[in-house]
Amino acid sequence: MPAIIFDCDGVLADTERFGHLIAFNQTFRELGLPIQWSEADYAIKLKIAGGKERMASLLNPEFVKQLDLPTDSSAQKTLISNWHKIKTEIYMEMVTKDKLPGRPGIVRLVKEAIDAGWKLAVASTSAEQSVRAVLENVVGVSQSAQFEIFAGDIVSHKKPAADIYLLALKHLKMSTNEALVIEDSRNGLLAAVSAGLRCIITLSSYTKNEDMSEAIMVLSDLGEHGAPMQIMENRSNVNLSSFLTLKDFEACLLT
């Protein structure tokens, strides 16, 4: 059967603005670091894939000297890892308190796919425990058990590199003609396309102005009954209506 591979942040839920940014800033406060990212700052940081990598971008020579941080690369790596653990704990608490609702159409589409026997996966640069928590919070524990999860440092090169999607295809034992990707960012889109996969974009808070010209369609979200999606671009042969269905996904695989 075919597969749908979801990104996590910005696709399953709008986690970047309402989750990760808040968790990063709370972490900085708890650590006593003189930094707070604004929404504009974080939009720039999102060009860097991975939470640890975004934190590591702080370690310029001036910042390191100002706070008397280690200059050795190994010690800095350990420092960032410890910072990120604190951030992940804060973020996980937010998720478990149900502060990050799923995006429109996710629960509906997942149920359709499970009922039809499709394979489901998540491919994300976020920490695996964070991805699992978001997935369970959005689709429920029972339905989340139907997913394969590929996340965090499972590959050497994060998006926009193709590594995580190539790994997913290998583990799912699928060809590029049997799977579709749902992403929200250009980094994710480039990763999917580089792996030879067709990609549907559902724009999120921070990605509305990004170039998505390689996507087969660009949508506001997946849409719901009574809450239609907005169609920005459609390069597929699918005649779209007010929400995306599993039949639409089947047609996309033939595009």
Domain boundaries, the chain: 3-14+101-252, 16-96
Residue carrying the six token digits 């910005």: 10
- Would you place residue 99 in the very low, low, confident or very high pLDDT band (cuts 50, 70, 90)? low
Residue 12 has pLDDT above 80, yes or no: yes
- Decide if 123 contacts 130 (C-beta within 8 A): no
What whole-number percentage of the chain has pLDDT above 90? 82
Residue 98 has pLDDT above 80, yes or no: no
Mean pLDDT across 83-111? 89
d(CA 44, CA 75): 26
Neighbours of 75 (CB within 10 A): 11
Structure tokens at 139: 């689709």
Mean pLDDT across 193-221? 96
Q: Do the domains at 3-14+101-252 and 16-96 have one common CATH topology?
A: no
Task: For 1-52, list the strands marked E by DSSP.
Answer: 3-6
- Domain 3-14+101-252 in CATH 3.40.50.1000: yes
What whole-number percentage of the chain has pLDDT above 70? 99
Give φ, ψ of 151 to 5 degrees.
-150, 165
- Would you place residue 95 in the very low, low, confident or very high pLDDT band (cuts 50, 70, 90)? confident
Cβ burial, residue 183 (10 Å; 0-12/13-18/19+): buried
The catalytic residues are 7, 9
16-96: CATH topology: DNA polymerase; domain 1 (1.10.150)
Mean pLDDT across 82-94? 92
- Decide if 248 contacts 238 (C-beta within 8 A): yes
Across the chain, mean pLDDT equals 94
In sequence order, the 6+-apart residues with CB closer than 8 A to the CB of 179 are 2, 3, 4, 5, 119, 168, 169, 172, 197
